[in-house]
Amino acid sequence: MISQLDYSEVKHANQIIHNLYNIDLPLHNRIINFLNEVIQLIYFDRATILFYYKDADEVYHKHSSVSLNWDKQADVVKQYDTYYCQFDDTLPVFDQASPIIFRSSTFFNQETRMKNVYWTDYLIPSNCIYSLEGNLQIKTHKIKGAFNFYRGEEKTDFSEKDVALMALLQPHLSNVLKYYGEEKDATSIFFMLENYNCVGIAMLDAFYEVIRSNSTYQSLIDSNQNSVSIINKINSLCNNLSSVKTFTGEGASIEYKFEDTPIFISVSRLLETASQGDAQYICLLYDLSYFITKTLDQTKEKYTLTAREFDILKAILKGKSNEEIASDLYLSLPTVKKYLTSIYSKMDIKNQKQIFEKLKLQET
């Protein structure tokens, strides 16, 4: 198939391969760069490098991934993680030991595929109509890998030339990822957290400067009005850890929760024996507002609260009085109390304080 390619395409592919083996860059960065370079050679709307496994019941689960251009579909990606992965009809194909690359439009029987919820309820609504996909030869026993490039219905399908180009790149992508899951550095963690907009992760050097991070880490800092305080606290935690003595083979960690911003920080000092280059610390930033929102959404569904009851519940959790709730929602005080009675009944509680206990939240 290489005869289908012209000199410039082969040259471009060779440069992409060369960059994949640039050991001066962390593996995670090389894979991100790989996707950004491939899109210039093989156009796609979205792409994913997927790592998955099967449990004891032969059910498929996502282990981790790195993706490009899925940012606006973050909720869709989570649906794949929690549900659609088990119905992904490409995964049994990827399981084979030998390399395979295919275009889904010619590989699958479309009539049969229309009976699969992964296609009808996940890919079609996401406008991932055309795909170029293949497996990766991962040496880790339990984890398997694959790449997925997608185009929308308004685009044309991938060509045989696209298949030929990926056939050049596939063995090299497999080679740099062959020990994925067995690394002694934090690469696996970066892959696992890249798609989650509620957890930021960064590796810091001995001077507490960020060496690498996922996109969420910087976003959580930049979007917070207390960004300077967050950075100062991270530096302070690293400094505290630098003086902590630990037993051989053990690391050390420390945590901190702000009172005036929904950010939780966890900093760990890396083991001296770990192969991390200049990295000395790992910092995790948790967006607590995300987790609280998820808890509230689950509460609304669990107790079948109406939209208005839910508004009042959120106001209570913000510490507002009945009078303030009435004013904010343009309701009379008796109406607010009527809604509160309904909320108490549905949640099987007697007062506002028990709401916090029910949700396992700390009253402020």
Whether residue 139 sits in one domain with residue 25? yes
Residue 43 · residue 156 · CB < 8 Å = no
- Of 121, 150, 177, which residue sits at a domain end? 177
Of residues 155 and 181, more confidently modeled: 155
At 318, which CATH number? 1.10.10.10
Whether residue 172 sits in one domain with residue 44? yes
Give the distance between the most distant pair of CA atoms in the chain: 80
Contacts of 323 (CB under 8 A, 6+ apart): 333
At 60, which CATH number? 3.30.450.80
Whether residue 168 sits in one domain with residue 62? yes
Whether residue 226 sits in one domain with residue 128? no
Q: How confident is the model at residue 350 (pLDDT cuts 50, 70, 90)?
A: confident
CB atoms within 10 A of CB 149: 25
Predicted confidence at residue 362, as pLDDT, reads 43
- Of 229, 262, 289, which residue sits at a domain end? 289
The letter for the amino acid at 108 is F
Mean pLDDT of 63-86: 84
Highest mean pLDDT among 16-20, 70-74, 188-192, 200-204: 16-20
Query: Is residue 44 scored above 80 in pLDDT?
Result: yes
Predicted confidence at residue 249, as pLDDT, reads 41
Mean pLDDT of 229-244: 89
At 233, which CATH number? 3.30.450.20
Residue 254 · residue 276 · CB < 8 Å = no
Residue 184 lies in a domain: no
Predicted confidence at residue 23, as pLDDT, reads 75
Helices (H), the chain: 7-20, 27-41, 74-82, 91-94, 104-107, 110-113, 117, 160-177, 187-193, 215-222, 227-242, 288-302, 307-317, 322-328, 333-347, 353-359
Whether residue 160 sits in one domain with residue 208? no
Query: Is residue 116 scored above 90 in pLDDT?
Result: yes
Mean pLDDT of 129-155: 92
CA 123/CA 114 separation, integer angstroms: 11
Whether residue 104 sits in one domain with residue 72? yes
Residue 84 lies in a domain: yes
Whether residue 102 sits in one domain with residue 249? no
Residue 235 lies in a domain: yes
Number of domains in the chain: 3
Phi, psi of 348 (to 5 degrees): 55, 50
In DSSP notation, 34-51 reads HHHHHHHHS--SEEEEEE
Residue 101 lies in a domain: yes
Whether residue 352 sits in one domain with residue 316? yes
Predicted confidence at residue 335, as pLDDT, reads 94
- Of 145, 177, 209, which residue sits at a domain end? 177
Whether residue 207 sits in one domain with residue 151? no
Whether residue 103 sits in one domain with residue 240? no
Residue 144 lies in a domain: yes
Mean pLDDT of 15-32: 85
Query: Is residue 49 scored above 80 in pLDDT?
Result: yes
Query: Is residue 224 scored above 70 in pLDDT?
Result: yes
The letter for the amino acid at 316 is I
Whether residue 206 sits in one domain with residue 328? no
The letter for the amino acid at 153 is E
Highest mean pLDDT among 86-90, 204-208, 216-220: 86-90
Residue 296 lies in a domain: no
Residue 245 lies in a domain: yes
Residue 364 lies in a domain: no
Residue 261 · residue 275 · CB < 8 Å = no
Whether residue 50 sits in one domain with residue 143? yes
- Could you report how far apart the first and last alpha carbons of the chain are, in Å? 66
Contacts of 229 (CB under 8 A, 6+ apart): 258, 261
CB atoms within 10 A of CB 334: 9
Domain housing 312: 303-359
Query: Is residue 66 scored above 60 in pLDDT?
Result: yes
The predicted-structure confidence for 260-293, as pLDDT tens digits, reads as follows 777 889 888 876 544 455 668 888 888 877 766 7
pLDDT above 70 covers what percent of the chain?
Answer: 87
**What tokens appear for 94 in the block?**
């990827």
Query: Is residue 112 scored above 50 in pLDDT?
Result: yes
